[in-house]
């Protein structure tokens, strides 16, 4: 079956500190500026609150305000929309990357690697399951911020006939300006080593803890070329990813055949 190209929109913006109403209103205004025929919209990490450890007062159960807002947006704009939020589930708190289809169906990935330098590991529960979602035939690996530093968790596997686990990895983030060079390097590396597109969506501005963010949201292709970058500016990146070019490159340069075999254990 032929797979069509994928048109993605990345939203890089400042966030209102711990203010869901203001953030959702701000994103809604930006989303309605999007052109038609977007397949996938990507928001930053904890897009409704900023990166906060105040999970008790900021968390929501599934299908509450944030989830309902995302479902409404997905249905109205006929897009898949994703970004992470603070979710309470079965008495536990998660930095959960929500994934909502145009039909309103909702799925998720819970952040695996919790940023101990900000006590995230003391505030949230670790995700234990790697997920791969699908949009228009594209297989997409969702990841959150600090996950970017751990390549084993995002390693792209392949079957004997060359069918790979995923075609695109997405990292939503609140990645500080002080370490933005590492962000640039690692996003590029994840694309090269996994023979896939790699997208990172980071925020800008200064949060309530005085942490500065400088964006650098970007799209890298399977050869490690940066095909689009927001640098440090507020704005929306829109790009169409080419599936046939990706497959042609994998066939021409089948490095996956020489990959080391291993199994992940939770």
Q: Is 111 labeled as catalytic in the residue annotation?
A: yes
Q: From the candidates 45, 60, 67, 120, which is the catalytic residue?
A: 45
pTM of the model as a whole: 0.97
With vertex at residue 93, the alpha carbon angle to CA 65 and CA 218, rounded to the nearest 5 degrees, is 75
As a whole number, mean pLDDT of residues 182-202 equals 98
Q: Is 28 labeled as catalytic in the residue annotation?
A: no
**Quick check: 265 pLDDT over 80?**
no
Q: Is 45 labeled as catalytic in the residue annotation?
A: yes
pLDDT digits (tens, 9 = 90+) for 62-71: 989 999 999 9
pLDDT digits (tens, 9 = 90+) for 84-140: 999 999 999 999 999 999 999 999 999 999 999 999 999 999 999 999 999 999 999
With vertex at residue 242, the alpha carbon angle to CA 236 and CA 243, rounded to the nearest 5 degrees, is 130
Q: From the candidates 20, 60, 111, 120, which is the catalytic residue?
A: 111
Side-chain-side CA neighbours of 107 within 13 Å: the count stands at: 15
Domains detected in the chain:
6-258 (3.60.110.10)
pLDDT digits (tens, 9 = 90+) for 9-21: 999 999 999 999 9
**What does the pLDDT read at residue 5?**
97
**CB count, 10 Å around CB of 117?**
8
**Quick check: 1 pLDDT over 80?**
no
The DSSP line for the chain is -----EEEEEEE----TT-HHHHHHHHHHHHTTSPS---EEE--TTTTT-S-S-HHHH-B-TTSHHHHHHHHHHHHHT-EEEEEEEEEETTEEEEEEEEE-TT--EEEEE-SS--GGGTHHHHSPPP-----EEETTEEEEEEEGGGGG-TTTTPPPB-TT--BS-SEEEEE---BGGGHHHHHHHHHHHHHHHTSEEEEE--EEE-TT--EEE---EEE-TTS-EEEE-TTS-EEEEEEEPHHHHHHHHHHS-GGGGPPP-----
pLDDT digits (tens, 9 = 90+) for 209-249: 999 999 999 999 999 999 999 999 999 999 999 999 999 99
**What does the pLDDT read at residue 160?**
78
Using an 8 Å Cβ cutoff, are 190 and 153 in contact? no
């Amino acid at each position: 079956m032929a797979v069509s190209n994928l048109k993605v929109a990345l939203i890089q913006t400042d966030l209102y500190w711990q203010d869901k109403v203001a953030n959702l209103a701000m994103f809604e205004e930006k989303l309605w500026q999007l052109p038609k025929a977007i397949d996938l919209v990507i928001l930053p990490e904890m897009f409704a609150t900023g990166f906060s450890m105040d999970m008790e007062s900021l968390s929501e159960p599934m299908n509450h305000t944030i989830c309902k807002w995302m479902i409404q947006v997905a249905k109205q704009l006929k897009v898949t929309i994703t970004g992470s939020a603070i979710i309470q589930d079965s008495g536990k708190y998660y930095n959960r990357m929500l994934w909502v289809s145009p039909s309103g169906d909702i799925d998720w990935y819970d952040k695996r690697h919790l940023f101990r330098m900000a006590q995230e590991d003391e505030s949230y529960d670790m995700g234990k399951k790697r997920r791969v979602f699908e949009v228009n035939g594209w297989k997409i690996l969702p990841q959150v911020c600090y996950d970017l530093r751990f390549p084993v968790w995002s390693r792209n596997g392949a079957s004997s006939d060359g069918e790979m686990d995923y075609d695109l990895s997405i990292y939503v983030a609140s990645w500080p300006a002080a370490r933005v060079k590492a962000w640039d390097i690692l996003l590029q590396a994840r694309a090269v080593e996994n023979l896939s597109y790699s997208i990172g969506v980071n925020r800008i501005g200064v949060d309530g803890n005085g942490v500065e963010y400088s964006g650098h949201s970007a799209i890298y292709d399977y050869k490690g070329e940066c095909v689009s970058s927001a640098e440090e500016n507020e704005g929306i990146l829109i790009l169409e990813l080419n599936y046939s070019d990706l497959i042609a490159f994998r066939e021409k340069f089948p490095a996956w055949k020489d990959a080391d075999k291993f199994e992940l254990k939770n």
